[in-house]
Amino acid sequence: MKFVLMLSVCSFVTGECKDPIRYQETFDTWKECAIVALDTSIKYLEAMDTDTINKFKLSTQYTCKQNKEI
């Protein structure tokens, strides 16, 4: 089985999250998926406007779902 990464940006002010982005890359283990999710989250937040992040208290939310291969 492989793991599929789903990542979305959420606001701690409104409690809303954007629709998740599904990554095409799959991962052999939960650990690999989680590390990429955290690394991607850091890069995404670093690229965003600081004022917007602070105003809406933005962060990321992720999940690594098992994808059963046929």
Could you read off the pLDDT of 18-35 as tens digits, one per residue?
A: 999 999 999 999 999 999
Strands (E), the chain: 2-11, 21-27, 58-67
Output the pTM of the full model. 0.84
Neighbouring CB atoms inside 10 A of 38's CB total 13
pLDDT band at residue 67 under the 50/70/90 scheme? confident
List of residues 6+ apart from 44 with CB closer than 8 A: 7, 9, 60
Neighbouring CB atoms inside 10 A of 53's CB total 15
Sheet holding 58-67, edge to edge: 21-27, 2-11, 58-67
